[in-house]
Amino acid sequence: MPRLRPALSALSACLLLAACQSTPPAAPPPAPATPYRGAVLAVDQTERGVQIVLPGSVLFESGKATFQQAEAAPFLDRVAQLLLTKTDKRVAVEGHTDTDGSANLNEQLSLARARAVADALSSRGVPAARLEAAGFSFRRPVASNSTEDGKRLNRRVELVVLGEQLATLTANEPPGAFESAWARLRSLIEQGRVQAVDAAAPK
């Protein structure tokens, strides 16, 4: 029996060494990311700051400054969240229309819609002092008003987070939460669905 002890000790040492050198089990694969299901914001970097384009056809009833609540709420909630958590910059809220109707009517409508968006953001906690509403009627089209698709693009409210960087606003946000407004416009132009205008470029 005494002669077996060294052999048993050596065997135990070999087993321990083999256990230490064995390959650890592979880590389980990461769980697939949950697809983003919130409102997708159309954004771009401009000289003035980060531009967020809210489609008027989604936000408002036709020819009015009254929100379509079910469609508008997700966009307004999302914008308010970004403005409250990602930046403290001032925001220009700018209303735009197509060419249907008189100049005076569109002037009033564009301003009323900009104010409605500013009020909605303020009611969601964004300080009113950071929000400045203005209306531009049909003076700043992004597409020709010769087609319905072009008119639809021109009916919009743009927010410009003044002096902000797109990378700051979108950092750590889920994939699919944003799209490029101008890339979408270029795609529609290439498809022949809208005609370009000289103003259809970020400023």
Q: Where are the domains of the chain?
A: 45-190
Higher pLDDT, 31 or 62: 62
SS3 for 97? coil
Higher pLDDT, 77 or 13: 77
What is the CATH code of the structural domain delimited by 45-190? 3.30.1330.60
Residue 93's pLDDT is 98
- Residue type present at position 65: A
pLDDT tens for each residue of 89-135 = 999 999 999 999 999 999 999 999 999 999 999 999 999 999 999 99
Give the pLDDT band of residue 199 (cuts 50, 70, 90): very low
Residue 129's pLDDT is 98
pLDDT tens for each residue of 5-53 = 555 555 555 555 555 555 566 666 665 667 888 899 999 999 999 999 9
Interatomic CA distance for residues 56 and 52, integer angstroms: 13
Q: Give me the mean pLDDT over the 177-195 stretch.
A: 88
Helix (H) or strand (E) holding 113: helix 103-123
Which string of DSSP letters, residue by residue, matches 5-64? Answer: HHHHHHHHHHHHHHHHHSPPPPPPPPPPPPPP-SPPEEEEE-SSEEEEEEEHHHHB-TTS
pLDDT exceeds 50 at position 203: no
**Vertex 166: Cα angle to 173 and 87 (nearest 5):** 75
pLDDT tens for each residue of 137-176 = 999 999 999 988 889 889 999 999 999 999 999 999 999 9
Contact 113, 195 (CB under 8 A): no
Helix (H) or strand (E) holding 94: strand 91-96
Count of Cβ atoms closer than 10 Å to residue 119 Cβ: 14
Give the pLDDT band of residue 194 (cuts 50, 70, 90): confident
Residue 20's pLDDT is 54
